[in-house]
Structure 1
């Protein structure tokens, strides 16, 4: 029988007469719920799937609605998610949408009739994982070779993220096949620095995240790195090779401040190579290269042409040359090359045409030549040549003027000064000390030494001759030259504005110099020499300072001082062999300090016949032959002594009053 169908029925009986029927009766069969099946799930993605249903029995009534329903829980109903796929008993196909990635779902077909809702068989499936959801962060801190970006991951797509970061390229739509940096894990925001970029270059960057569904990318952002500045503004100190390499990678052409390579506090650097600095051309301030015991060459500095301040090269153990500096033409400050133990030449600075300050070349134990020293006629500062291994001064042959001190000292191999014979003026101290020079012969172009001229401790020197046109000197000191026998020259020198000292020259016996000298504004000191008189000062009239003549066993006469009238300081005559003062200081009128005459064993008389004023004391002692003071009687009677008179230890020791009273000799 059909469901929900009206049926008629009658009773009947059959006999030989035929069949008879009872009254017509009716009834209707009941309707039932529809019967249906759920189609297999297909086309599964991270957010959708395909299924459907087949209604095999409508239950005897019309099907008014049909479709699929699904849930993350078993036995889904129309209270969950569902589709509506029409009415009737036809088979249907339905799209399941709005799924969460990588999630298990339960699905059933359904049919609705007046009898109610019937469901097909339940099926189970799992949606596919999805790509992660993320955005690319804006690019910040854009520099010449770096910038910062990052990502914000808001969903993992239902699967573990195995890699995440940013990727960039100079082409659009970069992928992880381009340059990339992976960092961190999980959801949230991350920042990443892009490094080793090219200056002034457009880049494209995207965030990425990879899970089992694949690699997802954030939106693309483009940016352009900054142009390379060719100028570094400030000072640069490079203490390690890494710092050298990092700074050199910027390819600067100019540093507005100073450049220090190494450390001048005594810390030894590990720098071995300066090649990455080859782009440098100009320094606004000094260049200092200190304490590099692994650095053999300065070749990386060959691009530098100008230094605004000093050039300092010191305590670099492996330098044998400094040729890497050969393109420098201008040094705004001073030049100092010191304590480079293996340095043999300084040819690397031979192209310098302008030096704003002085020059110090000292304590370079292997330096045998100054060839290559800047070919300059004038040095605007001090020159110091000290404790090297040079034998001559070739390299300074064009030097005419030193606007400062000029010191040559402790050059024990130096034997020849010929290279500086063109020198015309020194506006400071000029010293030649501690050399192996056998003679000084020349300097006949030198007109002025504003400071002291000092020739001292030269163990081999036997003669000094020359300085024939020297007209100005701040002092002359010739001392501690053991083999020095003679001095001649200094013909035009009429005034010394400082001291005149001839001391501890044990062999000095002949002086035919300084004959034109009239004034010494400082002190005069003659001690421990071998000359017999002072005839070379026969034109001297004034000494503003002290006069000290002592410890000269060969000095038998003060002749030469006959026209000396005034001594501004004190007069000391001690331990000589003179027998009379009369033949030398007879013209002396005024002594601004004291007079001390002592330990002159041959002295017989005091010969100050014209002495008028002594502002200090007169001390005469231990002159064992002295017994005549009569030349002082007029001086004492006239009250010319400002201090006291004292005579002790002599052959005769009168008081001032004795002399005044005429008891002046014995």
Structure 2
């Protein structure tokens, strides 16, 4: 197999394209508060893909509403297309994806929200295929005998999907040796290595360099290492590694590009991720239920992701490895990481994810590292028993939904000081919340405001500037709540648009009581 040389000329050409087209523009930048983020897209695929083959997705987001995607130009006209609403890139003309004539195909995608837009660079590297010994189609190898017979053909490339093992079947395969596959260098579609009870090594895949779609490695109880994948540099879509009971680490890997999600889940013996130290691009990172994992070292080269999801990693002490992360576009979710005390390694993230979910973290003391977040669509901070305040959210001015539930140590809502507009706000079951100080600048609740079961909450004074509740106001079962005078302004402005529900508190005034000045005991 031949590779296109990374010459100085090619490098300078790409840099020039990047400088020329990766810029942000608008007709009215200074007057608009809308921002748009777009991530450059890099992928390596084999030449001669199929028509309609998915290349990946350009990540784009906006602080308000939604974005649309369009192609401004491409170096080889008609090579690929983009879905206007999702950003998914697909092959249009497979004949143009020819290594000999177009070893690199580039383009520029416009990510826009009205007149506000940002351009993303698209670079598609092609790998040459050795046509001398290709298996055309898909193959499922369920037994050692089938694998031995297939391997005797010494195929270098499989155009379709390769399954090794029983995949989702209830029983395990008898496969223990992959060495007959040692001539294999690339797979056009998915690779599954699954359901192999006694497979201890991936020896036989040491020459594999490229996977054209997803890679799944799961339910291999004896597999302790992935080191034999040391030549694999590109997984075009998702890389899934889960339920491998003996897998200790990722040492030996040399993967540089993962086009979709990196999903590492339920590997009970996994202690570190240092094997990902050569990874330079990945769509999203999902690390869940790995009880021996103590940090995230290995991701130092990653600067942006669409989603970062961390959950159920009981030994995770810190987020070391994410210090260079600067952009999270869609979702930041951290849950059930019970030794994690702070998120300090995320302090360099300067773009606001659309959603922030922080819940069920028993040792989390603060979320100060999120202070660069400004406009977020969804916020859920719940079930963090030692979290003392919401500092870190102080620059957020608007959100669609905000939930503050079951945080035992929070005494007020300081940290939401700049929140002016929200669609739905729920404050519930915070046993030591004695004040809602922090909501002084809240003016508009477009839909509903719920304040429920906060037993030490005494007054609503910090809602003095609230002017509008579009639909429902529900204040129930706050056993110490006697003072509703903070609602006088919003009630005078015709109150909630639909339901006024107040009961189970120490005092339960009607809307007329509040208008008449009988707003507290």
Equivalent position SS for 2:228 = helix
Give 1:480 deviation, angstroms. Answer: 0.9
2:391 pairs with 1:528: no
SS for the counterpart of 1:243 is helix
Aligned to 2:216: 312
Secondary structure in 2 aligned to 1:429?
strand
Q: Quote the residue 1:473 is aligned against.
A: 376
Identify if the C-alpha distance between structure 1 residues 272 and 418 changes in structure 2 by more than 3 Å, giving closer, same or farther.
closer
Alignment partner for residue 256 of structure 2, among 325, 348, 353?
353
* Runs of 4+ deviating beyond 4 Å: 622-635
Equivalent pair of 1:442/1:465 in contact (CA under 8 Å): no
Matches within 5 A, 1:28-177: none
- Aligned residue number for residue 616 of structure 1: 498
Partner of 2:28: none
1:154-176 deviation line (CA, Å, top 9, x unaligned): xxxxxxxxxxxxxxxxxxxxxxx
Q: Give the equivalent residue in structure 2 for 1:295.
A: 199
Taking the aligned partners of 2:503 and 2:321, their CA distance within structure 1 comes to 51
Q: Is residue 324 of structure 1 aligned with residue 228 of structure 2?
A: yes
Shift of 1:330: 0.9
CA contact (8 A) 2:240 2:262 kept: yes
- TM-score, structure 2 normalization: 0.69
Q: Is residue 442 of structure 2 the alignment partner of residue 540 of structure 1? A: yes
Partner-residue secondary structure (3-state), 2:460: coil
Please list the CA deviations of residues 84-125 of structure 1 after superposition, one character each: whole Å capped at 9, or x if unmatched: xxxxxxxxxxxxxxxxxxxxxxxxxxxxxxxxxxxxxxxxxx
Distance 1:251 1:624, change over 3 A: closer
1:426 counterpart residue number: 328
Q: Does the 8 A contact of 1:443 with 1:468 survive in 2?
A: no
Mapped contact 1:444–1:470 kept (Cα < 8 A): no
State whether residues 284 and 307 of structure 1, in contact with CA within 8 Å, keep that contact through their aligned partners in structure 2: yes
Q: Is 1:566 the equivalent of 2:473?
A: no
2:342 corresponds to: 439
* Aligned match of 2:133: 230
Query: 1:268-325: per-residue Cα shift (whole Å, max 9, x none)?
Result: 1111111111111011011110011111110110000011011110000111111111
* Contact 2:243-2:267 within 8 A present in 1 as well: yes
1:510 CA displacement: 5.1
C-alpha RMSD of matched pairs (Å)? 2.6
Aligned CA distance change for structure 1 residues 560 and 378 (closer, same or farther; 3 Å): farther
Alignment-derived partner of residue 415 in structure 1: 317
1:519–1:542 CA contact under 8 A, matched in 2 = yes
Deviates more, 1:313-322 or 1:264-273: 264-273
Superposed CA deviations along residues 354-384 of structure 1, whole A, max 9, x for unmatched, are 1111111001000011111264454224634
> What is the aligned partner in structure 2 of residue 252 from structure 1?
155
Query: Kindly tell me: are residues 230 and 544 of structure 1, through their superposed partners in 2, closer, same or farther at Cα, counting changes over 3 Å?
Result: same
Superposition deviation, residue 555 in structure 1: 1.4
1:274–1:563: structure 2 CA closer, same or farther, 3 Å change rule?
same
8 Å CA contact 1:442–1:467 kept in 2: the answer is no
Distance, in Å, in 2 between the alignment partners of 1:306 and 1:513 is 47
CA deviation digits over 1:194-251, x for unaligned, max 9?
A: xxxxxxxxxxxxxxxxxxxxxxxxxxxxxxxxxx941110112111111111111111
Counterpart mapping for 1:586-665 below 5 A:
586-588=488-490, 608=491, 610-623=492-505, 625=507, 631-632=513-514
Aligned pair in 2 of structure 1 residues 519, 630: CA closer, same or farther (>3 Å)?
A: closer
Query: Higher strand fraction: Structure 1 or Structure 2?
Result: 1
SS in 1 for 2:463: coil
* Stretch of structure 1 that moved more, 612-621 or 419-428: 612-621
Residues 518-552 of structure 1 deviation map (CA, whole Å, 9 limit, x = unaligned): 11133333332423212212211112232111111
Q: Which residue of structure 1 aligns with residue 117 of structure 2?
A: none
Give the match for residue 185 of structure 2.
281
- The separation in 2 between residues aligned to 1:252 and 1:430, in whole angstroms, is 42
Match of 2:273 among 328, 352, 370: 370
1:455 pairs with one of 344, 352, 358: 358
User: Greater helix percent: which structure?
Assistant: 2
Task: Give the SS at the match of 2:321.
Answer: helix
Distance in 2 (CA, whole Å) between partners of 1:279 and 1:300 is 8
Q: Are the equivalent residues in 2 in contact too, given 1:534–1:558 (CA < 8 A)?
A: yes
1:271 aligns with 2:153: no
2:116 aligned partner: none
Cα deviation, residue 614, structure 1 = 3.8
Distance 1:632 1:511 in 2: 24
- Structure 2 vs 1, CA of residues 618 and 522 (structure 1 numbering), >3 Å: closer, same or farther? closer
SS state at 1:455 partner: strand
**Alignment correspondent of 1:555:** 457
Distance 2:500 2:433 in 1: 26
Is the partner of 1:586 in helix, strand or coil? helix
Specify every segment of 5 or more residues in structure 1 that has no aligned partner in the other structure, as ranges.
1-227, 589-607, 636-651, 653-663
1:574 CA drift (Å): 1.9
| Secondary structure, aligned partner of 1:552 | coil
Q: Is the 8 A contact 1:275 1:300 kept in 2?
A: yes
Distance in 1, Cα, partners of 2:520 & 2:246:
71
Mapped to 2, the partners of 1:625 and 1:563 lie a distance apart of 22
Superposed displacement of residue 622, structure 1 = 4.5
Counterparts of 2:453 and 2:501, CA distance in 1: 17
Native 8 Å contact 1:561 1:585 kept in 2: yes
